[in-house]
Amino acid sequence: MKVTIKQIAECVGVSPSTVSRVLSGRGERLISEQTRQRVLRAAEELGYQPHLGARSLVTGRTCTVALWMSQLFTAFHARIVHLMETTLWRSGYELLIRQVGHQTEPPRHGRGRVDGIIGFECVGALRSVRKISHRRPVPVVSMGAYYLTDVDYVGVDLYTGTAQAVQHLIEQGCRRVAYLVNAESRHPGDARRDAYDAVVEVAGLPKEYIVSVDQSRSAAMAAVAAHVEQFGLPDGIFCHNDEMALGAYRGLRLLGVRVPEEVALVGCDGIEDTEYLEVPLSTVRQPLEEMCRLACEFLQRRMAQPDAPLQSAVLLPQLMVRESSLRRR
């Protein structure tokens, strides 16, 4: 049997109109946060499913937000999807997920079916939708390490995080610090590449790149093996992300290399997998919870106040030092 707003109201002990305001997002400012959370919990526990078509006719909104992702297949990206879905559900929104990759043509984002778009590191696709939606602007928030600055944005400062990681390797006594990166991300202007270059230059150390064909674990493992065979073993490696760090770790162990005694290793992103290896991996942890929370807040404020000033935030990551990079104890 379909759960109704009236049943939720009876369960919580409030009026149906209060429940309607919470679930529709209209007039929420008149309702206390405690009551709002009680209504949302009751709706979830009772299995309430809103009639989106009817809601749209009444409110002029679909209460659906599109999340655009550059990719979806890694644990890092799955974590972002989970955080966004959880955060938006608490505010009464459904989530429509689209993988847009690096395309510059406007994807079918569902104009008329979504109230706004949050894009994670897909600046080309976000630029395209800005061009075609000038007559009926779609609220947009850009977030991640790569982001637009002419729309609301929540950025992550991976330049600072990378600089801390590379400096940490140098302080551990590493004198050949290599950067494991996929070919597409190696270009100047990328925050991680620029930070790596700057820190090793100041330290008077040579630049050394281990270039992988892509960001997969298998490709990173193969790239490390080929690099060691051709150039010998660096004593420190900073990895573009944790997927590549896990591949590098496996590749080094297959070569019989001890981590961190022979090679100190640091990844980037902060995925949970890095904690569960025989030698836990150091990593630059991105503040995903804060990033997703702010992005949702910015989008909802933009939908409510289309002419509000630009909203922006740049968040700092945290270097998590674990056994894989500790050579001096």
Domain boundaries for CATH 3.40.50.2300 within the chain: 60-157+287-317, 158-285+319-325
Q: How far apart are CA 134 and CA 18, in angstroms?
A: 35
| The predicted structure's pLDDT at residue 106 | 55
Report the DSSP beta bridge partners of residue 171: none
CB atoms within 10 A of CB 33: 8
| The predicted structure's pLDDT at residue 58 | 45
Q: How far apart are CA 157 and CA 284, in angstroms?
A: 11
Per-residue pLDDT tens over the stretch 68-112: 998 888 999 999 999 999 999 888 888 888 888 655 555 555 545
- Structure tokens, 47: 């299995």
| The predicted structure's pLDDT at residue 57 | 41
- Structure tokens, 291: 């990033």
158-285+319-325 classified as CATH 2.40.50.140: no
Q: How far apart are CA 57 and CA 10, in angstroms?
A: 25
| DSSP-derived pairing of the beta strands 318-320 and 282-285 | antiparallel
Q: How far apart are CA 303 and CA 61, in angstroms?
A: 10
Q: How far apart are CA 237 and CA 239, in angstroms?
A: 6
| The predicted structure's pLDDT at residue 56 | 47
Low-confidence ranges of the chain (pLDDT < 50): 53-54, 56-59, 111
| The predicted structure's pLDDT at residue 17 | 84
- Asked if residues 286 and 319 have their Cβ atoms less than 8 Å apart, the reply is no
- Asked if residues 222 and 251 have their Cβ atoms less than 8 Å apart, the reply is yes
Instruction: Look at the domain 60-157+287-317 and name its fold.
Output: Rossmann fold (3.40.50)
